[in-house]
Amino acid sequence: MASEAKASPRRYPMYINGEFVESADKKYFPVVDPSTEEVMAEVPEANETDVNRAVAAAKAAFDSGAWPQTTAQDRGRILFRLAERIRKEAPHLAELEARNSGKPIVEAEYDINDAATCFEYYGGMATKILGQVNPVPDNALSLSLREPIGVAAQIIPWNYPLLMAAWKLAPAIAAGCTCILKPAEQTPLTALEFASYLADAGLPAGVVNIITGFGETCGAPLVKHPDVDKVAFTGSAEVGKAIMRAAADTVKRVTLELGGKSPNIFFADADFESAIDGALFGVFINQGEVCSAGSRILVEKSIYPKFVEAMSAKAKTIRLGPPLERETKMGPLVSKDQFDRVRSYQELGKKEGKVAAGGGRSASFKRGYYVEPTIFYDVDNTARIAQEEIFGPVAAVIPFADEAEALRIANATPYGLAAAVWSRDIFKAFRMVKALRAGIVWVNHMQPTYVEAPWGGYKQSGFGRELGPWGIEEYLETKQVHINLNEQPIGWY
Ligand code: ADP
Ligand code: MG
């Protein structure tokens, strides 16, 4: 009996030196749709040979050819064309992103729009990179020039695939760097689609190279490569530390955006309905797969029982579903690994706290990495579920007595990415804003992010800032130029 032949998954090439290529040894690895658990595509498995090829292309493009001759205006226009192309392809990109990552289509549409906005923002900034004249006490002209750092290796995670690519590539291109981007192995597809826009936008070959592979065999050789001048990384704290160590040998510039265990703090005087919504949005957006997730929910004792009850009741109504359905508010987790990891924290949470909502795999789906939005309460801040980044829809609710205790608990974490405070008392809210040790603090909201504002962490959440003018600084060197204006000989000996 002839069995029905299954269509083989689409093979995407990767992009090196302006060409679509296989890996040197022609190996591919599967990309899985997390809602069906089926292979949706295959991508090249780059290893050290491919890394060397991509770095050589990026170095050659930085040193010679058209790129070093481009003006800031040229670079700005390339970025505007990329933004325009992303907007044009947005329906397709959003669908691909939702299918590959598991996020709801409506959220994917926001992400794609934000990616385009990021290219527009840095398109405008390309012509606003300014040097200065230094007022030295001599008959001389002292200048500081801003120049591109060189070859940048950019390693990104799977939670916001194209948006993270935009945050990395846009400022680097505006600054005049050349790039090797390595998307996460789970979610390489939108970045590979994006690769096909680069030449059309006028980017010379080798300026942006996009290679697909695993952390150990592709990411690590990229970080070690002596011709890479800078590493920009977003991902886990563990890998961030390894990257920092590896980068030390060749004194690479490093920026790290790592994990978090961000407190979302609710005082009794906050608007209750907004607070409940803000607590849910803060921790469950994007399935909780967010570095700034408000995963520690600190609630003032006088409203604590009512808060836990209202939050849990609403959490149970969150609509889980296939990413492509417009009504879906939460999709599957990105991968089997992530599913297992989150499941194990759900089990741990049952020992470390009390279950208010969820706690397991979602029973509504036979396939796919769906877990229930989960809320544990009466959690001690020293519990593992309150200290370790879970990166899934799991919240730990912790009561506090007063402002001083809220602050002490909020800051009792090795991380410092984000925090939020909810109160109608502006004095209290602003005292908290000032005392919270975090790179991003929201008041009466959590999660909105703008390309105009700085993004990055305190403490073990990393260093360096992305977005805004801060984002481009990380791709620039400063050159001091001293021009002697004395025509007579200088004479000392
Ligand atoms: P997660 O464990 O949630 O997947 P990671 O921090 O491991 O998060 O992954 C983020 C990115 O870092 C991915 O692109 C991954 O391939 C890459 N990566 C993982 N390990 C290394 C490594 N040792 N060196 C460089 N990059 C790595
Ligand atoms: Mg990992």
Per the CB < 8 A criterion, the answer to whether 62 and 150 are in contact is yes
Residue 118 is a catalytic residue: no
Among protein residues, the one whose CA lies closest to atom 2 of ligand 1? 236
In this structure, which ligand is nearest to the CA of 239? 1
Q: How far, in Å, CA of 308 to CA of 15, rounded?
A: 49
CB atoms within 10 A of CB 492: 4
Query: For residues 102-133, b (16+ Cβ closer than 10 Å) or e, as one string?
Result: bbbbebbbebbbbbbbbbbbbbebbeebeeee
Nearest ligand (C-alpha, residue 334): 1
Q: Give the whole-number percent of the chain exceeding pLDDT 90.
A: 97
φ/ψ of residue 387, rounded to 5: -110, -30
Ligand 1 in contact with 211 (CB < 6 A)?
Answer: no
DSSP 412-463: -SSEESEEEEE-S-HHHHHHHHHH---SEEEES------TTS-B--EETTEE
Q: For ligand 1, is residue 215 a contact (CB within 6 Å)?
A: yes
Best of 239, 460, 461 for a ligand 1 pocket test (most atoms within 8 Å of beta carbon): 239
Q: Is beta strand 418-422 parallel, antiparallel or unpaired with respect to 440-443?
A: parallel
- Strand-pair partners of 221: none
Residue 180 in tokens? 């090797």
- Cβ neighbour number for residue 298 with a 10 Å cutoff: 27
Confidence grade of residue 4 (pLDDT, cut at 50, 70, 90): low
* Cβ count near 69 (within 10 Å): 9
Report how far ligand 2's centroid is from the alpha carbon of 153 (Å): 18
Q: pLDDT digit string (tens) for 20-34? A: 999 999 999 999 999
Question: 239 CB under 6 A from ligand 1?
Answer: yes
Residue in 45, 107, 257, 389 annotated catalytic: 257
Q: What's the CA-to-centroid distance between 467 and ligand 1, angstroms? A: 22
Does residue 375 have its Cβ closer than 6 Å to ligand 1? no
Res 491: pLDDT: 82
Banded model confidence at residue 5, pLDDT cuts 50, 70, 90: low
Concerning whether 257 is annotated as a catalytic residue, the answer is yes
pLDDT in tens, 117-148: 999 999 999 999 999 999 999 999 999 999 99
Whether the pLDDT of residue 2 is over 60: the answer is no
Query: Which residue in 118, 177, 218, 291 is the catalytic one?
Result: 291
The percent of the chain in helix, strand and coil, each rounded to the nearest 5, is 40, 20, 40
Are 144 and 132 spatial neighbours (Cβ–Cβ below 8 Å)? yes
Q: What is the average per-residue pLDDT within 296-316?
A: 98
How far away, in angstroms, is 95 Cα from ligand 1 center? Answer: 24
Does residue 1 carry a pLDDT above 50?
no
d(C-alpha 357, C-alpha 379), whole Å: 14
